[in-house]
């Protein structure tokens, strides 16, 4: 459990100040988080095991509500060091080092590879005999996959991200 939401939740528990957590949730979720926060603070001193369970309950509450605000499912707390894939890693590193170069390279490489793959398959199958239904269907299948690859890429590239935590789009 080392993601930014849990890190801020840990800071809140250590300092007794909920402020670091509030940016991760919506106004409507604050009351629930405040209630759990104060309940956890009240029992943290009752032993190491109680503190572990209470802290975990607070982390789970904050992460669950944050995911809900994003419009994403809550799938539980992830262990420290969980690999979320190269895109998340590169995006986080870009924010740390102030350069989008690695993110750009990663995305372009992935897009180019997929684009060529689907395009080449359609090109390979496009000169089918119109009387050969099996060949025609193979072409249509490849064509549809190509279009279903291209269109969402374009939509993603030209649209605003829909989900955010209590912020205007």
Model pLDDT, residue 160: 87
For the chain, percent of residues with pLDDT exceeding 90: 86
Model pLDDT, residue 20: 97
Q: Domain ends where: 49, 70, 91?
A: 70
In a domain, 108, yes or no: yes
In a domain, 107, yes or no: yes
Residue numbers of the domain that contains 105: 100-158
Poorest-pLDDT segment among 1-5, 50-54, 93-97: 1-5
In this structure, are 15 and 62 located in the same domain? yes
C-alpha to C-alpha distance for 73 and 79, rounded to whole angstroms: 17
Residue 143 Cα distances to 86, 119, 127, angstroms: 29, 8, 12
pLDDT band at 167 (very low <50, low <70, confident <90, very high): very low
In this structure, are 17 and 63 located in the same domain? yes
In a domain, 93, yes or no: no
In this structure, are 108 and 57 located in the same domain? no
In this structure, are 108 and 152 located in the same domain? yes
Model pLDDT, residue 108: 97
Model pLDDT, residue 54: 97
Q: Tell whether the torsion through CA atoms of 118, 119, 120 and 121 is positive or negative.
A: positive
Domain count, the chain: 2
In a domain, 90, yes or no: no
In a domain, 84, yes or no: no
146 has pLDDT over 50:
yes
Q: Domain ends where: 18, 51, 70?
A: 70
| φ/ψ of residue 27, rounded to 5 | -55, -40
166 has pLDDT over 60:
no
In the three-class reduction of DSSP (H, G, I as helix; E, B as strand; rest coil), residue 4 is classed as helix
Q: Are 14 and 41 in contact (CB under 8 A)?
A: no
In a domain, 165, yes or no: no
In this structure, are 53 and 111 located in the same domain? no
In a domain, 77, yes or no: no
Give residue-wise pLDDT tens across range 40-88.
Answer: 999 999 999 999 999 999 999 999 999 999 999 999 999 888 888 999 9
In a domain, 40, yes or no: yes
In the three-class reduction of DSSP (H, G, I as helix; E, B as strand; rest coil), residue 1 is classed as coil
Q: Domain ends where: 70, 90, 113?
A: 70
In the three-class reduction of DSSP (H, G, I as helix; E, B as strand; rest coil), residue 163 is classed as coil
In this structure, are 10 and 66 located in the same domain? yes
Q: Are 33 and 18 in contact (CB under 8 A)?
A: yes
In this structure, are 62 and 104 located in the same domain? no
Model pLDDT, residue 164: 59
In the three-class reduction of DSSP (H, G, I as helix; E, B as strand; rest coil), residue 126 is classed as coil
Model pLDDT, residue 169: 36
Give residue-wise pLDDT tens across range 120-139.
Answer: 999 999 999 999 999 999 99
């Amino acid at each position: 459990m080392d993601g930014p939401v849990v890190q801020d939740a840990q800071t809140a528990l250590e300092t007794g100040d909920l402020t670091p957590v509030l940016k991760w949730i919506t106004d409507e979720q604050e009351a629930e988080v405040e209630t759990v926060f104060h309940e956890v603070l009240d029992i943290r001193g009752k032993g190491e095991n109680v503190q572990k369970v209470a802290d975990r309950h607070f982390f789970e509450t904050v992460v669950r509500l944050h995911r809900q605000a994003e419009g994403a499912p809550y799938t539980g707390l992830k262990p420290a060091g969980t690999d979320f894939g190269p895109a998340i890693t590169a995006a986080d590193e870009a924010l740390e080092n102030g350069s989008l170069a690695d993110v750009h390279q990663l995305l372009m490489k992935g897009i180019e590879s997929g684009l060529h793959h689907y395009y080449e398959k359609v090109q390979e199958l496009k000169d089918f005999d119109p009387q050969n239904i099996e060949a025609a269907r193979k072409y249509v299948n490849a064509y549809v996959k190509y279009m279903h690859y291209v269109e969402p890429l374009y939509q993603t590239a030209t649209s605003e991200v829909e989900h955010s935590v209590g912020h205007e789009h």
